[in-house]
Structure 1
Amino acid sequence: MAALGCGERPGRAPGIIGLEVDARDLPRGLLHAREILPVRPGTAWLWFPKWMPGTHAPCGPVENLGGLRITLPSGATVAWRRDDEQPNRFRCEIPPDADRVVVAIDYLCNNPSVNSDGVDSFGNVDMGVVNWNTCLMYAEPPEGAAGADDAVRLRAQIRLPDGWGRTCAIDSMPDDDGSLHLQECSLAELIDAPLLAGVNLHSVAISDGRLRVSLDMLGPAGQSLEIDDEVVAELRSLVREMEAEFPGPAPFAQYHLLTVLSDVIPETGLEHQRCSLNIFPVAEWNGGASSEALGQLAHEFCHAWCGKYRRPAGMVTGDYHRAEHTSLLWVYEGLDMYLGEVLSARAGIVDADGFVARVENFAEEMALQSGRAWRSVEDTAIANWQLRAPCRRWGELRRDQDYYLEGMLFWIEADAIIRTETQGARSLDDVCARFLAVEPGASPRPYTGDDVVAALTAVLPYDWRGLVESRIMRPAASPPWTSLERCGYRVDMSAKPSSSPTAIREHGFDERWSLGMSIQRGIVSAIVPGSAADRARLGPGMRVSLVDGKPLSAASLMDALTRSRTTGVVSLRCNDGHGWRDVQLAYDGGPQRLTISRSSDAPDLLAAIARPRAAAAQIPQTAILPAVDNVPVAPAPDGSLQTVP
């Protein structure tokens, strides 16, 4: 690899970082980097990036450093000491006549934490994923100076193993020695553009229209990466629906759906401005693609507008060491969840019935989170990275990252309110067209909670602040059924049969609405507080072998629940680690399942929300639509609705 010195290579220009990454050891799980870093004489604080965009967490994987050496260009050693309170921060003393240092990093790949898998680096014998934040440091700017992400410029190059191809959202040019020189960019742009490399790469042009999109795939050697025509058609339909949803300029010139197929690299999905990183097991794309995989691509793609371009002000820090304030993740992730699910349905990735079923399942899961009684959706957003790891015991009491699902339910309810109050003339699509519109100027374009309320009010005057207070800011006293009811659905309990054999194999016996427990592979996996199982002092982790004296099965469990209407009890043989014993559950309700059905006296707004827009006929510009609060509205040239003067 051509050396980065103080001469004509990337480190020469004042204030520009020169970075060379030697990735030839990626097959062994190692990266080596050499960085020419401009500094000021005196005490310098160098940061290994800590707060990583997209993860919303202080998860920069500094624990995976396998070597850190700082020298002057002359080769003289510069001693460093780690900050006692900030493990990603390093102090060193720069001599009076020095204006740059050379930072040498050895990085240990394939060691992600629960929060860092989307921003870590990975490598094996035939493929690698390089996240540039694992290969560099930056100097903490003086107090009051511009942040590090956009103010700092870089010229980076990378050397890959022989025979490996690559794809990255930043253009690159090969050198005579085989290294690749990336186009000069800001620190923010580099960290936002992971690189895929390997022996088996395949790219498909999805769209070259207003939104230029490609699907760039990386797989193991010998794995077919041919994409079914049906999958390509669904992705192209998705792009058309996105063009309808986001009618103005795009926040990118070209978008890359970076997709890795691997049974070794952990599954993940992470958004970036010009690309998304999506890692799936090989089986997810075995000749085609599952609706879940395509739905993830849609979710991360929508983040280009919702999260990357429009971003909560508290999450725009200007560097990678100041803490992000994440209380508005119910917008960043919740609204994006709505967009990903809705646009997937409109594109045909999920059919209309499947979309309704998913919304129903989301609402049911949130209703079973007993932690809603003490913890608000906003609090799950503030504590988001502490909740990322699944809770193996009593998770319903703690809650998970519920700003995703319950945030989505808020936006479905908001859409239903707008559609109902305007007799279908307006919808959340109009809010998104305004709120997520790309405008000239810097990116990201930050917003506050007041901006969110103002965007909703601009489409429909309503007590949006009160709705946010009750649904997002405060703990909930009742299940989140309002979003479904406003969409024309009703929620009841019924004695439906137990789960299908397939559902039992995948999820076990789910009796949370009856006995208040679920059992997976003979082990209690969840207990509903206040239920019969809770009153009998059962707990997660206990084993169950018999129900009413018979081996546990779907049939024996259903028989026992049916008999409970007359006996008032269900008997379980349980083992809590101290031996087997019979436990009597006082219960007389019989089989119980939550059922969600259409209300006969209300329009089906979920069907309206999922209806495709891209194929709809254009309304003539002279058409006048129904008045809203006595203000007539008509289509604007961009397809959105505007008031008629």
Structure 2
Amino acid sequence: MRPSSLALAAALLACAALPVAAQPSPGPQPLPMPPEIAGPRDAPYPGVLTVDIDATDLERRIFRVRQTIPVTEAGPMTVLFPQWVPGGHSPRNPIYNIAGVTFRAGGQVLPWKRDPVQVFAFHVTPPAGATAIEVEFQHVSPTAGDQGRVLITPEMLNAQFVSLAMYPAGYYMRRIPVDASIRLPAGWGYGTALKAASEQDGLVRFERTDFDTFVDSPLFAGRHFKRYDLDTSGKSPVRLNIVADRPELLAATDEQIEKHRELVRQADKLFGARHFDRYEFLLALTERMGGIGLEHQRSSENGTVPEYFTEWAKNAPARNLLPHEYAHSWDGKYRRPADLWTPNLNVPMRDSLLWVYEGQDQYWGFVLGARSGLVTKQQTLDALAMTAAAYAEGRPGRKWRSVEDTTNDPIIAGRRPIPWTSWQRSEDYYSEGQLVWLEADTLIREKSGGKRSLDDFARAFFGVNDGEWKQPLTYTFEEVVETLNKVQPHDWAGFLDSRLRQVSPDYPLGGLERGGYRLVYAETPTDYWRDTEARRKMVDLTYSVGLTLNREGRIIGVLWDGPAFKAGLTVGDQILAVNGIAYDAERFKEAITAAKAGAPIALIVRDGDHFRTVAIDHRGGLRYPRLERIAGTPDRLSAIYAPRK
């Protein structure tokens, strides 16, 4: 072929390779998206926000908020309501409870527009020459439990500043100074990690802080209030602030308070450092305000049974709450997954390492509860048996879904009830994560001949930079593995990957067995099991017929592919009769025992307006989990739960 022909052929081939211009298909085309909101930058905010909150409207349960936000440059500005809730691991801040939003400048009401994509953002244009805008809104908190968590009652309130303030877009929250105040009902006591600058007639003004610290420092206040000093050593004060429905519920004994002091001492021995200048346990003993367990760097919000102190013997299951949330000051708040930390609360968080943040913290919560004496070793073993059974038999969803994938559940499900928890899985990074860290601890102890343990990891990983609290220290998967290998050489990357990142249908009970115990079942429940049922007002027959019921016989949980599932029962059904006689929890249990002889359990079940008969074929009797010592093996669990001297 001649050169000219070659050139022509090459040109034709080049033309053929050019993409054909896309032709629109019939039908609508998308409109362009609105301009993106300015991302946060690490620069000082040139001004000081003010936030003034009135929390005295107890009858209507309304928080009234007034703010000033300096105008830093001419033209439109964007104001943000926080979207993501740290500790909630999801964009769940209740903006739907925000009403009456009004912007002003120099007394003039300004029009505003909500961003049509980022609906937690408000666009407003101050007039020329304005130096600040004023913001006013009400947080109309729930007046009944079906609207959300109740925050205000005639006796107490929970002011969560993360939902009681807005802030300007374009800056890291830690670079935005805040002057804040709150007006409380006259005579009420309160607890918060914020430092008061002045108090007069119920008006509390706080020392200037940054917006990051402000929203991480909630407040409990109450008519019936008591404070206990848990550590007055001078290192940094730790206090227990209690509000209660009735004054007699505050009657804690010296022995009970001493166990809380021991919690503080045992945490010091475990982590070897503190990352707070003060720590405030906020504890509500109530059946009127909504329950909560939420961690912060220098405090924690805790809501539990009213009789926490006055019926101490019955409430062991309620006493792992404070150890869990306290350990979060180290695990989750100071040391935080790198993909979970964000410069403000309107940048999406990623939850992939919650099996460290929550899973290992669940482990330390059990450990510190036992070491402090808040729960006994036997109660801790009984609680561990319940956790082990849940993942040995109660989570068939392990066959298709990894633990790591459940770290997405706070975002996917928003902690709403789901119909098939055992199959769908739900935030299993907590308790299955706990079992994985138990296995890691017992493996370290075995390989080191008892010379090292996961305690050494806690001190090396979480116990750094004693006294530092203002800036979190982030970490990655690789850093977790690196520290584990420094404590005890092992294929920790493979260990964690196989148990957490991969689908793993094998039962995660290696830590129990290496710890010297096996999971068994008995026909009678442990006292801890009974106390848990009483606290939750339910009957748990998961490992017998595969269901749980409330006190009225309505089904609240069904084990996927268990006996009740195979019989066609589901959540929402109500059992009316057992073997021809009106339903009673004890009668149902007697029928389960009698069915060991071979006869099915006959039920009359109601589903709305429909009634049907159901036969459950289960011949295994009543089955309740507990732990049994493996003779001739080291009792590592006892060593783990023993207090540090």
Alignment match, 1:491 = 519
Task: Tell me if 1:412 matches 2:444.
Answer: no
Give distance in 1, aligned partners of 2:300 and 2:166.
23
Pairwise CA distance, 1:162? 3.1
* Structure 1 residues 108-123: aligned runs within 5 Å: 108-110=140-142, 117=149, 122-123=151-152
* Structure 1 residues 515-554: aligned runs within 5 Å: 515-520=545-550, 521-548=552-579
Higher alpha-carbon deviation: 13-22 or 32-41: 13-22
Higher alpha-carbon deviation: 522-531 or 208-217: 522-531
Contact 1:380–1:387 under 8 Å retained in 2: no
Alignment match, 1:323 = 348
SS of corresponding position for 1:77 = strand
CA RMSD after TM alignment:
3.0
Alignment match, 1:203 = 227
Higher alpha-carbon deviation: 481-490 or 227-236: 481-490
Alignment match, 1:183 = 207
Give distance in 2, aligned partners of 1:587 and 1:171.
60
Task: Tell me if 1:377 matches 2:409.
Answer: no
Contact 1:227–1:287 under 8 Å retained in 2: no
Contact 1:18–1:37 under 8 Å retained in 2: yes
Give distance in 1, aligned partners of 2:566 and 2:200.
73
SS of corresponding position for 1:358 = helix
Report Cα offsets for 1:141-165 as digits up to 9, x if no partner. Answer: 0xxxx51x20101112233333334
* Structure 1 residues 11-22: aligned runs within 5 Å: 14-22=46-54
User: In structure 2, do the counterparts of structure 1 residues 55 and 115 end up closer, same or farther at CA, with 3 Å as the change threshold?
Assistant: farther
Contact 1:27–1:127 under 8 Å retained in 2: no
Task: Tell me if 1:239 matches 2:261.
Answer: no
Give distance in 2, aligned partners of 1:113 and 1:324.
28
Pairwise CA distance, 1:128? 2.6
Contact 1:333–1:403 under 8 Å retained in 2: yes
Higher alpha-carbon deviation: 596-605 or 452-461: 596-605
Pairwise CA distance, 1:581? 4.3
Pairwise CA distance, 1:107? 2.1
Of the candidates 325, 349, 362, which is equivalent to residue 374 of structure 2?
349
Contact 1:48–1:138 under 8 Å retained in 2: yes
Alignment match, 1:129 = 158
SS of corresponding position for 2:190 = strand
Contact 2:525–2:625 under 8 Å retained in 1: no
Contact 1:226–1:287 under 8 Å retained in 2: no
Alignment match, 1:632 = none
Report Cα offsets for 1:328-370 as digits up to 9, x if no partner. Answer: 1111111111111101101111111111111111111233022
Report Cα offsets for 1:519-565 as digits up to 9, x if no partner. Answer: 54434443333334333333333343455556656776566556656
Alignment match, 2:86 = 53
Count of matched residue pairs:
591
Contact 2:69–2:134 under 8 Å retained in 1: yes
Contact 1:388–1:401 under 8 Å retained in 2: no
Task: Tell me if 1:305 matches 2:337.
Answer: no
Higher alpha-carbon deviation: 403-412 or 427-436: 403-412
User: In structure 2, do the counterparts of structure 1 residues 420 and 99 end up closer, same or farther at CA, with 3 Å as the change threshold?
Assistant: same
Contact 2:435–2:509 under 8 Å retained in 1: no
Give distance in 1, aligned partners of 2:598 and 2:311.
53
Alignment match, 2:186 = 162
Higher alpha-carbon deviation: 420-429 or 41-50: 41-50
User: In structure 2, do the counterparts of structure 1 residues 593 and 240 end up closer, same or farther at CA, with 3 Å as the change threshold?
Assistant: closer
User: In structure 2, do the counterparts of structure 1 residues 604 and 241 end up closer, same or farther at CA, with 3 Å as the change threshold?
Assistant: same
Task: Tell me if 1:42 matches 2:71.
Answer: no
Task: Tell me if 1:78 matches 2:110.
Answer: yes
Give distance in 2, aligned partners of 1:25 and 1:590.
54
SS of corresponding position for 2:123 = strand
Give distance in 1, aligned partners of 2:310 and 2:626.
34
Pairwise CA distance, 1:457? 1.1
Letter aligned with residue 354 of structure 1 = Q
TM-score between both structures, scaled by the size of structure 2: 0.84
Alignment match, 2:39 = none
User: In structure 2, do the counterparts of structure 1 residues 354 and 586 end up closer, same or farther at CA, with 3 Å as the change threshold?
Assistant: closer
Higher alpha-carbon deviation: 459-468 or 91-100: 91-100
* Structure 1 residues 255-294: aligned runs within 5 Å: 255-286=279-310, 290-294=315-319
Give distance in 1, aligned partners of 2:378 and 2:243.
33
Letter aligned with residue 42 of structure 1 = G
Contact 1:269–1:279 under 8 Å retained in 2: yes
User: In structure 2, do the counterparts of structure 1 residues 59 and 536 end up closer, same or farther at CA, with 3 Å as the change threshold?
Assistant: closer
SS of corresponding position for 1:480 = coil
Pairwise CA distance, 1:132? 1.8
Pairwise CA distance, 1:589? 4.6
Pairwise CA distance, 1:577? 4.8
Of the candidates 84, 99, 111, which is equivalent to residue 66 of structure 1?
99
Give distance in 2, aligned partners of 1:565 and 1:220.
46
Give distance in 2, aligned partners of 1:116 and 1:548.
39
User: In structure 2, do the counterparts of structure 1 residues 66 and 576 end up closer, same or farther at CA, with 3 Å as the change threshold?
Assistant: closer
Pairwise CA distance, 1:129? 2.3
Higher alpha-carbon deviation: 391-400 or 171-180: 171-180
Contact 1:156–1:182 under 8 Å retained in 2: yes
User: In structure 2, do the counterparts of structure 1 residues 299 and 512 end up closer, same or farther at CA, with 3 Å as the change threshold?
Assistant: closer
Give distance in 2, aligned partners of 1:492 and 1:510.
17
Of the candidates 485, 488, 496, which is equivalent to residue 468 of structure 1?
496
Alignment match, 1:6 = none
Pairwise CA distance, 1:221? 6.4
Pairwise CA distance, 1:115? 12
Report Cα offsets for 1:277-322 as digits up to 9, x if no partner. Answer: 2223422333769434442111111111111100111111010101
What 5-or-longer segments of structure 2 have no aligned partner?
1-44
SS of corresponding position for 1:475 = coil
Letter aligned with residue 428 of structure 1 = L
User: In structure 2, do the counterparts of structure 1 residues 558 and 171 end up closer, same or farther at CA, with 3 Å as the change threshold?
Assistant: closer
Contact 1:110–1:265 under 8 Å retained in 2: no
SS of corresponding position for 2:187 = coil
Pairwise CA distance, 1:200? 3.1
Give distance in 2, aligned partners of 1:551 and 1:221.
38
Give distance in 2, aligned partners of 1:233 and 1:567.
53
Letter aligned with residue 535 of structure 1 = K
Give distance in 2, aligned partners of 1:343 and 1:427.
15
Pairwise CA distance, 1:76? 2.2
Task: Tell me if 1:422 matches 2:445.
Answer: no
Contact 1:215–1:259 under 8 Å retained in 2: yes
Contact 1:70–1:103 under 8 Å retained in 2: yes
Give distance in 2, aligned partners of 1:108 and 1:26.
11
Contact 1:24–1:159 under 8 Å retained in 2: yes
SS of corresponding position for 2:389 = helix
Give distance in 2, aligned partners of 1:127 and 1:529.
41
Contact 1:269–1:296 under 8 Å retained in 2: yes
Task: Tell me if 1:450 matches 2:478.
Answer: yes
Give distance in 2, aligned partners of 1:363 and 1:50.
35
SS of corresponding position for 1:21 = strand
Alignment match, 2:56 = 24
Contact 2:80–2:166 under 8 Å retained in 1: yes
Give distance in 2, aligned partners of 1:555 and 1:124.
36
Give distance in 1, aligned partners of 2:309 and 2:59.
23
Percent identity over the alignment is: 31
Give distance in 2, aligned partners of 1:51 and 1:156.
21
Higher alpha-carbon deviation: 300-309 or 172-181: 172-181
Letter aligned with residue 259 of structure 1 = L
Contact 2:155–2:222 under 8 Å retained in 1: yes
Letter aligned with residue 543 of structure 2 = W
Letter aligned with residue 513 of structure 1 = Y
Letter aligned with residue 423 of structure 1 = G
